[in-house]
Every structure is written in structure tokens, then in C-alpha cells.
Structure 1
């Protein structure tokens, strides 16, 4: 059959982050879901334009999937349904975006939603390794759970023979009866299976990270395997214009059209990741991609975009293809993995990965405590070649060391330039050869010794808590075991993070990174557990007043709750709760262990459960009273900041937000560490509440605090919090007015935004001020 030529028809801009899913609803409308925590409805207007007529809000984390559920008994107008990384599913009225249902039960991110074949049936799948079948006519009914996969379930589908199919990161597809009993497991894909679609009444298709598509019978026989993509395939959808053909998209930045088993056309986009593809009834193709844009492509010349738009699109595609051939930091851009690699958990705490993001390369570090990859910063281009250097793998270095890692194994080459931070070079070496993180210090010291370095980069971090004295127990000053060096701790700019250029170049690059809006919670992770233990032992002998002292073993077990990967029993958490009743003058080391412990998902659930949690939050609020000890004030706020590590703590802190805002406003003279804690707490509140209507008091509190802060890091974090509110709040005009009305703050913003200070801390304040002023 003749395949018509597809060209760009429409560009739909409105999302501020990756568009992870696109789907269709009635009347050729388009639904899109984004990492900006919203979903949108786009209505066709005229021959080829689309208008965003509704935005669906309510999720507290990335919206990963969206679908249209046709009218049913309980919802005669149908529902827009979205799933999120906040583990919930929301159902909205199509026209006014009011939330009609909230479905809870998944224990991790919901990554797909879709209607079943029967009226009112909704299918969902999750990173919790399960799929669920919901009856939205009876939303209180317990869903059917399809449980048996060993990793995330990326897709779920009801087949033509009324059985269910699930696709998983464990490389298998499973078929299930309607009663959730397993029929069979299908093997063949060699990597994560990402998408499923019904091909006919008797067959279905799957796509995978192994860059193949497979055609299966409903009983599980593989009929064919299709090849064409050069990287991960993320999404697959049938196309009515191709006579049983289909469309796929993926990490190679393309959409491919298939008919009669062959790849018959390719559409290149100016992006690396095309996350999702769907097809309209008229055969037009809709994509959602990593640049936050929804695009529509058509084979109907009457719906082609105008010549200027088409020419610009072609130029953008060409630039992206040229950029893919570039080398950054000695790595060929096109050969580095895309952000999809971050969906796989790290092997060890502190493990790093280099990831291609557009035309940039970024370095990420795995946090075992947060169970996530954290961005460290940009990887910059290498310095120009110089005479007298040693060649290694096409590049020139000051040194190429031979490092013996294992007896009997050949030495491994370690290239190094004097302009590099030895810790950064050591981390890159460990990453490249997949070595244990514990080798970091050994490798760094090897470089320092053998390169005969006269000076070392500064390694002090700006978060010392000297309220107890320089050489005494200082909560939060020492990195926990396994974390990256302190120089990589900046959660906003990645300052001092992995770079193959000079440190100054890295700092300069960091100012280009958008800081506002901030979209992730921050935490206080650093700790000196040995010092905390010694202080607890000292105070344990002073509790008195009828409170029983603990044994040394009990104290050791409590301190272990603060480890990043602690194993414990519930009795130890009960001991911690008992210690929280210690007199306030000796309470601060107990609070310090608590703020570390609540990072653990299970402990967070026990501390912030519905029985103990509300009382505990009220107690923390009481510690913020002006007459309380500064150490208790600061550490109470740090506990509340780290409470955001998991849903129970997050929900209780959000429930107490009005009282928290009032308590922070009432704080009197607070030291630098308490300033940072207060600003961090307001930042997490801003991330959580930015898109809600009732943020006026939070904005007032931030403006009040910004006019009082003397610590640069605290001021910077409060700026980011206020900017996040300003960027995302429905009350944007009101917040603008409040900022402008505060002459002190407004004048400083204008002054800082026009400055170019040499100091890194002041430079990021200048960058944040510039971005905030642009929003004004």
C-alpha cells in the first residue's frame, strides 16, 4: 500500500516539563500528562489547531499516565483518569476538572491507566510490581490485584478473549484470567517490556527496551518480531489510517509507522525521548516528548503546518541530529543512555551515571535512602589538547595511571588531568568500571599522591552546626557513609559536581540551569552517628524523673535507625518514641536521630501513623515556640523537612501547614542553621502546595522570612520556594502584588538580579533573583 507522507501539523505548548503520556478522548480531543504534575485537555479548533481548554490538577507528584474512560453507570459523562508518582489515581470531570474519585492502593508510582472492555472497568499498573482492576461504578470496592511480576508493571491491557495481559520490567508478559489467576508467562523480550496494544480480536503487540516489537496471539504464541528502532521503545498504538498498522516511539527521538510487518515511515523529532504516541480517528499521530511539547503529525496536506513552522521544525531536527554526533567530556553524545536509564535503581549508594539530556550530559548519583537518582550537575566538554600529554582512547591526559584493583586481574587505566578535582575523577573511574563505592577515597588518594598535587579543591561544606562547639557533637555536619563528597551536595545547581572541565567552568555552567520552579523535596541527610551515640549515652544517665535509662545495646539499636539502609525491629522505634519524652534540655540528639530515621519508608509510616503521628507533629510545633532551645527549634524543623521522605509524614506536615507557617513567622532571633532549616521546610511546602489555591499565607511567610534572613544558603532556598509559588500558583497575580509591595525584598531582587558576583553562593542567589524577576 502507498504510505502518505506525514508532516508536522500542530505544536501544543503548555506543559513546563516532560510530557509522559498522550491519549485521545471523544471528538478527536487530546489528553496529555506531564511531569509538571498536571494533565491537560486539548480541543480541536479549526482545521489543524488545538486549544488547551482544561487543566487537571490535584496530584502531588509527576503525572505519568492519562486516559479517557467512556460513560458508565456512576459517571454518565465519562471520566478523565490520571495516574501519578504520588501512588494515586484521580478521576476528573471532563469539562470542569473537578475531582470525582480518588483511588488508592498502589504502593508506588502508577505508570499506566486504561479502560477495560466492560463499562466502568479501569485498569492500572504500577512500579509496585502489580496491576489492578477497578470497578469505578463501585469505587469503594476492593480492586482485583494481578500480582506475580518481579519488577515494575509498565502496562496492562484487556485482550479480545477477555483475559488480561501485563508487561513488566522483569522482561516478561503475563496473561491472567478474570479472577486474577495466572495463565502463563511469555518470554522473548530481552529487556523491560514497556507497552501493549490490542492488534485484533485474536492478537496483541508489545514493545520493549530491547528495541523490538513482538506480535502475540491471545494465548501467548509469538507470531513475529519487528526491528527498526535503534533504542528503547516506550509506546505503541494502532493507527486506523494504516490498515491494521501501528505507530511506535522511543529513545531514538523518532516515531515509526508500521504496516504489513514492515517499518514504512519514520518521523524524526528534535528531541531524544519521545515518551508516548497515540493516533486520532483521522489517522493523525500525536506525540508527547521530553521537551514538554505535544505535537500532531498528519498525512493530509490540508492540515500541514505553515511553511515557516515546518522549516523551523526541520532545522531543529537537523540540529539535534548533529548534536548527537558531538562528544562531551570524551563521551559520544549519541552513545550515552537517555533519562530512561534512571528508572532502574542503582546498585550501591553513591553510584553515578552519566545521562544524555538533550544536547547536554548530566551526572546523577544514586541515593539508597531516597531510592532515587539525584542530579549532581553538568558534564562539560574537555579542555583543548596540549603538547606533552599522554593519549588514551582518543584523548590527551596529563597522566594515565595503571591501577591494580584485583589480584590476578590486569590493571585498569585511570586517565587524569591536573585541572580535575581528584575526587570527581575517582568517582568517574568507579562509575566507568562499576567498582564498589567504598573505593572512592582510596582511588582519590592514589591520584593525589601520584599526580603530586600541591593544592586540593576546597572540601568544606557550608552547613556546619556549631551551636554545641567546634570539636563537640554537631548535628548534621558529617556526611553519612556512602554519600558523594560534600562538594556535590548542592541540590539546586549541582555546583562542584562531576565535570571534566575546570571547577570554574562547572560553576559558570551551573548558573544556566533553571532553578524555578523546583519540583522535588529536599532533605537533611548528613550525620555523625558516632558522635550522636556518645551524646545519647551522656544524656541517658541524666534522664531522671521516673524515666528509665536505656541499656547500651538499646541505645546502639536506636542510633542504627539513622543509618541509610537500617534494618530494625518495631520495638526499637517504640524505644525512640519513649526517648522523645526526654526533658527538652537534653532532647536534641534524640531529635537528630528521629530526623534521620524518618527517611526510612517503614519508620516514617510508624512515626507518622494516624495514632502517634498527629500528636508527634503537635509536639514538634511546640518545640518551635520562641522560648524553646535553639537546638530543638532547628532540629524540629529538620524532622519536619525529612518527614516529606514518604507519604505518611508528608500528609501530616501538610495538614499542619497553617500552624507551621504561623510558628515560623513567630520565630525570634534564629541562627544560620535554623534559618536554613526554616527555609528548607517552606521550600518543601511550596513544592507540595504550589498549584493549590490557598498559598497566600505561605507566600506572606516567605516574604516575611526573606526580609529577615542573614544566611546566604537560607536566603537562596527561600527564594526558590517563593519562585516556585509564583511560577505555579493559581494566585500568581496576588503573589506578584505581595512581592512588589514589599519594597525591601523587591529592591534586593532587582539589585541581585543585575549583579555578577564572583562568590558561588552569591552567584546562585543572583541567578535565582533573575529568574524570579522574569516571573514578575
Structure 2
């Protein structure tokens, strides 16, 4: 019987990084887990649409797996279960995302969670080479540990004959009794076994990095081997919509539908890694992939996406197929290994490996001392550049290194040719990115080490061997052709954060400014001035409010130090001080915006009990009848709330109210404009890949039409450009920008500006106009 063609039904946008796992729950709901540290519940709406109804947060690292644990004695409503690279397992209530259980015990990343066949039984597996069996109804009971594999256990399922089966990176499958005793070890796969699925009461399936699928009896006999994929197979799921059917996905960017052991349908996605596949009861196929999207495919014509969406999808797939044929030093992109290749240790210190990341190729070097692969830089296709060269921003280089300057910030690109003096290249890099001058030796030595320079190039411009020091360039001693003069501090992180005078050089014009991909915050402070102001206002407190002692004031101000130590009583005092009259409140808000940068304080200020009320309190300070100082500092508190997950979560939950409050603000001074634009930029970074950002876009455009401060305007167009670059609803944003003539005309004017103080605005405007 022929299987009707599957076609795209829906694209679900909500995650900002790879979707590593998808699974199903009751009523055709979908669960997805992502490297962005969240899981999402998608509820069907209408014939073919799904909406994000709950986002589950709480993990400190990537969420690698998710499942639905059906109702049991302890949790009659059931639980959403997630496993993470933070080595923990969390269980949430389905409807509101409240954490109910936190299971600790694995010593490494948790890579699979799935329910057992009995009520309340949860199975998990980990990179720590074990599987575990948890009884959720008896939390005091220690889990049964399945120990015997020599490498990561990628999957664990319970077969119909009450036997556990585990799949491992040691290329084997092991079968276990309920008490954890090993029954037998199955061999046959020639590479990591990645997934398992119960096929019937008597059989189960396995998939592996050897691009094969095997059918086994519950007693361990291999009945058949199926081939079709051309690369690693990551996930396999039974499909109730196909007779004896299942679906599989993998590193070849495809999903394959099988019936009776035959591949009857191949679905190509515009990605290289399809990490996970699951099937709904109606036979629809759900995927999670490396582009951060969840996709639903169907064979029912009534659930097909509209023609425009199908056409766009086909074009994206075609573009990906063309890119996969690009040549990289004699290899096609499709022939290079994906990121899973980095799971295998290097054979010698300094060994390099090319790894495919989407349509890009990166070079990694093995560090024996750190026992890890370190990213060296990007590798570009051989066709656009001369043999052995790398294209970067229109020029050819021997190397393009990725340099991590600051934790959590994107790596900076450092292009270099072997004919260059490494100190000159290092100095140009420092000037370009406004880095401290003390980085010079570190950057230069990085170049020498990673470019493996046995000797330094002869110099014709006065530069000699820097190891001897003779004629070595001393920054500031003389002008160097091609290098700009030292610039002012970066207002995102440096001394220009509160002023507009230093807004001349956040970034150079040749570096892409959007999409921006990290949160900004206000760090600068004068703690002595804050203390003096609090002391002054403390003497004026009345109306039944207690004044604070000098010692208490000192402790409160110390909360503004990034790595402060404090007592619970001091946090209580700060909360009490926030009750001061609005006329003397602003220094208290200033301390608060500094304090919430601290991870632990952020968690206390924005906890689930008091945090929502505090956010409402901040929003109340944004009303037009409040003081300008309170409005500005309330916005700064919300900007810095993004320093950690609790604050980020609550501000995002209140985003509609935040946007509405910003629109209603009266004329703002320069500092307030910068605070408002910064808040919109953080919201745009967080929500860039979501489709429902209409109100946020409207707010940004309205604010841009009122802004007079250059730094605030720059941050505003960064926010707009980030949404334009990442949003799945680009047409809506394009239409709003083009139809708003004042903004559109200003972008055109700014894009051609030769004013040095508007250099970064011109660069960002150019990038936005190119996307239109």
C-alpha cells in the first residue's frame, strides 16, 4: 500500500537554540527541549496550528531531553520531565510550569528521560555511562542504577517483557532485569547506538551513528537491519499512522518514514542536524533540529501548510542542498562530520579537526592538557578564495580565529595572514574591538601559537622580531597606517554607560551588528554617592516607616558590589527600603539594579512568591505621574534583571505590560531614553525568534521616532535589526519599517552619514536596509 506524501504542516518558533528533543503528551500536545535551557509545551489550536502555552525553566544548562510522565499516585495530573547538561532532572506541573521534583544523582549530562511501563516509574540515562530507574511515588527510595557500559548511555526503554534495554556510545545494547542485574550484551552496531523504540510486544528497534537501524527480539536476536540514512541516526519513533511504521532522523538533515522495513518517504529539512523525531497519534511527524525550530509534517492535505509557506520551505531546502555541495579543501560540506565528532577525544595534542556547523565549517584543535576540543576558527569554502585561503568580509586570509574575550559574550573574529607581524595584527584587533591595551601580548601570542609560526615575517615597516624587543611597536608612540586612534570605552560595558559623549565607537563598521545575541546591563556606579544619598534620605523617612542604622545602610550599599557577601537580613532591609515614598526612592532603585546582577540576589528578588509583585511594582513606577528618576531607575532594574534566569523569566512574562508602559511614557531625558532602548534591546534578544512580536516592534518604532539621544537611538535600531534578522515573521517587520516614513527616511539618511560620531549608527542602518 502506497504511503501518501508527507508535507510541512506547521513551524513552531519559540526556542533560541538547537531543539534537542521532541515528545508528545495528551491531547496532541507537543513538548520540546532546547539548548536555550528551556522546554516548551505546544498546544494545538485549530486544524494545524500550535501555540506556546507554557515555557518550563529552571535548568542551569542545556535541556537535552523531555517527556510526559502520565498521572501517578503522587502526581495525579502527571508531570513534564526534563533532563539537562547540568546533571539534574526536573519535573513540572503541566499547566503552570511549577517545579515539583528535582532529581540528582547522575554525574554527567542527562541525555534521555522516558516513562516506564508502571505508574510513577521514570527512566533516565546519562553521559556518566549509567541508566537509572526512579520511583516518583517513593521519592525517598534510591534509584536502581544500571551500570556496566563503557561510555555514555544515550537511551533507555522498558520492553514489553519487563526488561530494560540501554543503548550506548560503546556501540552495544545491554538488557537488564528489573533489579538492575545484567542479562546480556547485544553487539552488531559498529558505532554509537543513539536511540531505542519499542516496536511490538516482542520486538524493539535501535538506531546508531553507523547509519543503520536494527530490529531485535526482546530476547536479543537481531531480525533485520535497515539502511537509508547517509549519516548518523539520532532518533527513532514508532508511527501509529503507518502500518508497521516508524520514523527516524539524523545528521543527514532528513526524516525518513518506514513501513514494514522499507523507507517509503524521505523528508529533507533545511538543516544538517535533525536531532529528534516523534509522532502524534494522528500519524503527523514532529521534528526538533539544529536551527532551533520544531516542525510538524502531515500526510493529511487538510493540515498542509499554505502554498507560500510550502514554497518557502522548498526553497530553503534547495539552498541547503546547494550549500552541502560546497567544496572545503577537497571535501564537500555534506561529507564533513557534524558536532558529534567532538565527542571522540583527540589522538595527539594539537590535532585539528574540521566540523560542520549548519552551512559553516569550523576548525577545532585538541588540547591534551584540557582534555577537550577548542574552537580555532572558521573555515571557508575553497571556491570563493584562493587555494589554502579563507574568505572573511571580502578579503582572503590564511586564518580566521575565534577569540573568546568575555564569558557569555560572542567570540570575536581575528583574521590573520602569515606575512603579517602578529603584534601589528593584535594591535589592529584591539583597536577594532575597543579592548584594553593590556591584551596586546595575550592576543599576539595567541596568533603565534595557533598559526604555528615557526619564524616571524621579515618586516619592512620598522617592526622586528618581538621576542628581542628591537624596534617593537609601542602603542601610542607612533601612528600606524591603517589603525584608527584609540577610542572611547564601550558604553555597553565601560565608563560611557551613562553618557552620550563616548558613544563614538561601540563597534567598527565592518562587523555585523545585528542580530545582537547577548543581554546588556548597566554596571557603572558610584557606591559612595549612593550611600550619601541614602543616608540623607534616611533621615527624612516618616509616615510610620522605620529609619535604618548606619551599619544597615552600609550593608545595603554593599549589595551593589558584584561579588558581595551579605546576610538574609540585608535583603529584607532592601525590600523594606523599597517601600520608601517615591520622592526619595531613586537611590534605593539604583542599589537594587546593581544587586540583581548577583545570581543569588536575583533569585531572591525575583522568586516565584514575591517576584511577580515586584515586577508589578516596577511597572507602577513607569506611570506618567511618577518622577523621571524613578522611571529611569525602574527601567534599569528591569534591564539588569536579565543578568540571571529568575529575573529574565519574570520580565519576559510581563513583556506586554512592559511594552505598554514604555509606549505611554512622556518625553524622556537622555539617560531615560538609553534605559528604555536597552530594555527593548534585551527583550528583542530574548524574543527575536518568536513570531508574535508585533507589539514589541510597534513600541521600538514609536520610541525611535521620539528618541533624540544617539546612544539610545543606536540601541533602539539594534533591537529592531535583531528582530528583523531573526523573526520568522520578517514580512510583518519589513512592512512596518517601510510604511513608517519618518523612520525609513532616517535609516536612509543615517546609512550615508560621514559623521565619525555616527559611525556605528550608519553601519547598523545599512545592515537593516539590506534586510529590507
What is the alpha-carbon distance in structure 2 between the residues aligned to residue 109 and residue 305 of structure 1?
A: 37
SS in 2 for 1:128: coil
The Cα shift of 1:750 comes to 5.3
The verdict on how the C-alpha distance between 1:113 and 1:426 changes in structure 2, with shifts beyond 3 A counting, is closer
Query: Is the CA contact 1:423–1:485 (under 8 Å) kept in the aligned structure 2?
Result: no
Q: Tell me which of 682, 685, 693 is aligned to 2:643.
A: 685
Equivalent residue pairs, number: 579
CA contact (8 A) 1:32 1:288 kept: yes
Q: SS of the counterpart of 2:60?
A: coil
Q: Which residue of 2 aligns with 1:511?
A: 512
1:33 matched to 2:33: yes
| Cα distance change on mapping 1:420 and 1:317 into 2, 3 Å | closer
Taking structure 1 as reference, are residues 766 and 149 closer, same or farther at Cα in structure 2, changes over 3 Å only? farther
Distance in 1, matches of 2:218 and 2:680, equals: 55
Contact 1:130–1:148 (CA under 8 A) maintained in structure 2: yes
| Alignment map for 1:53-132 (pairs within 5 Å) | 53-132=53-132
Contact 2:680–2:716 (8 Å) recurs in 1: no
Which sits farther off after the overlay, 209-218 or 329-338? Answer: 329-338
Per-residue CA distance 1:54-89 (angstroms, 9 max, x = gap): 222222322211111111001111111111222222
SS of the residue corresponding to residue 712 of structure 2 reads helix
> 2:103, 2:353 → 1: CA distance?
35
Structure-2 separation of matches of 1:181 and 1:83: 24
Aligned to 1:261: 261
CA displacement 1:230-285 (0-9 Å, x = unmatched)? 01101001112322221101111111122222222211122211111111112221
Conserved 8 A contact 1:152-1:169: yes
Q: Secondary structure at the match of 2:649?
A: coil
1:242 equivalent in structure 2: 242
Distance 1:30 1:198, change over 3 A: same
**Contact 1:60/1:688 (8 A) holds in 2:** no
Cα distance in 2 for partners of 1:351, 1:210 equals 24
Q: 1:456 to 1:94 in 2, by over 3 A?
A: same
Structure 2 equivalent of residue 279 of structure 1 = 279
Is the Cα–Cα contact under 8 Å of residues 426 and 444 in structure 2 kept in the other structure? Answer: no
CA distance in 1, matches of 2:766, 2:135: 49
Match in the other structure for 2:712: 746
Q: Does 1:458 align with 2:426?
A: yes
Q: Is the 8 A contact 1:20 1:289 kept in 2?
A: yes
Aligned residue in 2 for 1:592: none
CA distance in 2, matches of 1:153, 1:719: 43
Q: Does structure 2 retain, via aligned residues, the 8 Å contact 1:750–1:773?
A: no
Report SS of the residue matched to 1:108: coil
Q: 1:60-209 maps to which residues of 2 (within 5 A)? A: 60-209=60-209
SS of equivalent residue, structure 1 residue 515: coil
Distance in 2, matches of 1:375 and 1:687, equals 27
Deviations 1:12-35 (A, max 9, x none): 222222221111111222111122
Cα distance, 1:8 vs. partner?
A: 2.0
The two structures have a TM-score, normalised by structure 1, of 0.60
Aligned partner of 1:314 in structure 2 is 314
Distance 1:367 1:263, change over 3 A: same
Does the CA contact (< 8 Å) of 1:515 and 1:768 recur in 2?
A: no
Tell me how far apart the structure 1 counterparts of residues 682 and 55 of structure 2 sit (CA, whole Å). 23
Q: CA deviation at 1:96?
A: 2.0
Greater Cα shift, 59-68 or 751-760: 751-760
CA drift at 1:354: 3.3
CA displacement at 1:130 relative to structure 2: 1.9
Q: In the TM superposition, what whole-angstrom CA distance separates every residue of 1:467-495 from its partner, at most 9, and x where no partner exists?
A: xxx9xxx8x8764999676999xxxxxxx
Q: Contact 1:683 / 1:721 at 8 angstroms: preserved in 2?
A: no
Structure 2 residue runs without a partner (length 5+): 404-415, 452-507, 521-562, 571-593, 608-638, 659-669, 722-746
CA shift in 2, pair 1:479/1:180, >3 Å? farther
Q: Which residue matches 2:215?
A: 215
Q: Distance in 2 between matches of 1:56 and 1:382?
A: 43
Q: What residue number does 2:226 align with? A: 226
Q: Which residue of 2 aligns with 1:270?
A: 270
Q: Is the 8 A contact 2:342 2:373 kept in 1?
A: yes
Q: 1:306 to 1:72 in 2, by over 3 A?
A: same
1:2 counterpart = 2:2:
yes
CA distance in 2, matches of 1:691, 1:336: 38
State the SS of the aligned residue for 2:156: strand
Q: Which residue of 1 aligns with 2:576?
A: none
CA deviation vs aligned residue, 1:687-717 (integer Å, no higher than 9, x gap): 7853345999xx9xxxxxx979xxxxxxx99
2:313 aligned with 1:338: no
Mapping of residues 430-579 of structure 1, within 5 Å = 448=418, 457-458=425-426, 461=430, 479=442, 511=512, 514-517=515-518
Distance 1:346 1:760 in 2: 48
Query: Partners of 1:215 and 1:56 in 2: how far apart?
Result: 35
* TM superposition shift of 1:772: 12
Q: Which moved more, 1:127-136 or 1:720-729?
A: 720-729
1: CA distance, partners of 2:754 / 2:352: 29
Q: Could you say if the C-alpha distance between residues 420 and 139 of structure 1 is closer, same or farther in structure 2, counting changes exceeding 3 Å?
A: same
Quote the residue 1:357 is aligned against: 357
Distance across 2 between alignment mates of 1:220 and 1:135: 26
Alpha-carbon separation, structure 1, partners of 2:366 and 2:712: 38
Change (3 A) 1:650 1:75: same
- Aligned equivalent of 2:15: 15
Alpha-carbon spacing, 1:209–1:707, altered in 2? closer, same or farther (3 Å): farther
Task: State the 1:458 CA deviation.
Answer: 3.3
Q: CA deviation at 1:331?
A: 4.6
Question: Tell me, what secondary structure is at the counterpart of 2:258?
Answer: strand
**1:750–1:769: 8 Å Cα contact kept in structure 2?**
no
What 5-or-longer segments of structure 1 have no aligned partner?
387-394, 399-418, 428-443, 489-506, 520-594, 596-607, 619-639, 659-680, 700-705, 709-715
Alpha-carbon distance in structure 2 between the residues aligned to 1:223 and 1:758: 72
String of CA shifts for 1:590-641, please: whole Å, max 9, x gaps: xxxxx9xxxxxxxxxxxx9xxxx989xx9xxxxxxxxxxxxxxxxxxxxx9x
Distance, in Å, in 2 between the alignment partners of 1:265 and 1:173 is: 28
Find the aligned partners of 2:53 and 2:295 in 1 and give their Cα distance. Answer: 16
Structure 1, 335-344 or 745-754: larger mean CA deviation = 745-754
Instruction: Report the CA distance shift for 1:183/1:264 in structure 2 as closer, same or farther (over 3 A).
Output: same
Aligned partners of 2:389 and 2:396 also within 8 Å: no
Residue number in structure 2 paired with 1:46: 46
In the aligned structure 2, how far is the partner of 1:332 from the partner of 1:759? 45
Distance 1:306 1:423, change over 3 A: closer
Deviations 1:356-395 (A, max 9, x none): 3333334456678887666565434457578xxxxxxxx4
